[in-house]
Amino acid sequence: MPIKYNLQPVALREERSLFTLVENRSVYSMDSCELNVFETHQQAKNVQLQFDDWVLTSMLRGKKIMHLSDRPGFDYLPGESVILPPSEVMKIDFPEADRETPTQCLALAISAEQINDTIGLLNERHTKAEAGEEWHISQEHLHLANNLELADIINRLIRLGLHEQSREKDILVNLALQELLVRLMQTQARAFFEQNYKRLASSNRFGYIIQYIKENITSKIDADKLSEKACMSRANFFRKFKEELGFTPADYILKERIRLAKTYLQNPLNSVTQACYMAGFQNLNYFIRAFKKEVGLTPKAFQLSFLN
């Protein structure tokens, strides 16, 4: 799973205020969504949870093992989210929860009207690059690492749900929900292309561009020339790429080079300078700055932390 961003912590309930030690639920209702915070303070197995609406769950503390109907169980940890369609049954194990290290997770149930209105607006005003494709929430890519943009907007919704008392609260929440849905679909699109770009390269222009970038990542790539390969005008290519995937082609190239540099740095025989140039960077100082901004550590600190 790629770099993931933890959410801001939510204060735990005092034990005397808990109704149950397993999935104690605090509910914050708004016009278009319902924010639930669940806490579990003891080990448990096969706890079932279900919502009538699309629900975005995000881990705040501890560890769960999540079981969904059509896939094997998986560890569910802070920095990760799971988006689920209506009526999907979650079966959850809590192998490590106790009073000292409880598990905490939020679940944001979003009204069908809010989702349909947002998707309808996107399909009307921001059509996809490929004819016939439309915006939608995928039921294939459900388990996601929180990127910075997704974490930021979830944190904003937490603050609005738990602390905002103004008369315009629901207006602010609805605007934040629109952004959340866009960020979520962009995150799913990136996961989809990462897993399927080879299959898509012959039929989807962004699949082809991603394959081209990956195959040439150690060489100089002129981002301005990618539009020609996509058979699009430069302005339209950059706009659609950013809309659908959430970052620019240049950002994508940078992230791919940093991802490659991280693999080189995991080998103690490679120096920071070697990792820099093997990953396609042309300037060592720029590499160090970009790596620290993206990863949160300098390349050397990352290498030492991995080796230790």
Give residue-wise pLDDT tens across range 139-183: 988 999 999 999 999 999 999 999 999 999 999 999 999 999 999
Amino acid 175: pLDDT:
97
Where are any strands of DSSP class E within the chain?
Answer: 24-29, 33-40, 44-49, 54-61, 64-68, 71-76, 80-84, 90-94, 103-110, 143-145
User: Same domain for 254 and 136?
Assistant: no
Number of domains in the chain: 2
User: Same domain for 213 and 106?
Assistant: no
User: Same domain for 51 and 188?
Assistant: yes
User: Same domain for 119 and 188?
Assistant: yes
User: Same domain for 151 and 295?
Assistant: no
Name the pTM for this structure. 0.90
CATH number at residue 206: 1.10.10.60
Predicted confidence pLDDT, tens digits, the chain (308 residues): 567 899 998 999 887 788 899 999 999 999 999 999 999 999 999 999 999 999 999 999 999 999 998 788 999 999 999 999 999 999 999 999 999 999 999 999 999 999 999 999 999 999 999 989 999 999 988 999 999 999 999 999 999 999 999 999 999 999 999 999 999 999 999 999 999 999 999 999 999 999 999 999 999 998 888 999 999 999 999 999 999 999 999 999 999 999 999 999 999 999 999 999 999 999 999 999 999 999 989 999 999 987 76
User: Same domain for 186 and 207?
Assistant: no
| Final residue before a domain boundary, out of 168, 200, 232 | 200
* DSSP secondary structure letter of residue 9: P
Could you tell me what percent of the chain has a pLDDT over 90? 88
Residue 122 Cα to chain centre, angstroms: 20
User: Same domain for 159 and 189?
Assistant: yes
Q: Quote the tokens at residue 246.
A: 């959430």
User: Same domain for 196 and 283?
Assistant: no
User: Same domain for 188 and 255?
Assistant: no
| Final residue before a domain boundary, out of 150, 181, 200 | 200
For residue 132, is it left (φ>0), alpha (ψ between -120 and 50) or beta?
left
CATH number at residue 71: 2.60.120.280
Tell me: the pLDDT tens digits for 247-292? 999 999 999 999 999 999 999 999 999 999 999 999 999 999 999 9
Domain housing 206: 201-308
CA-CA distance, 68 to 74, in Å (whole number)?
Answer: 9
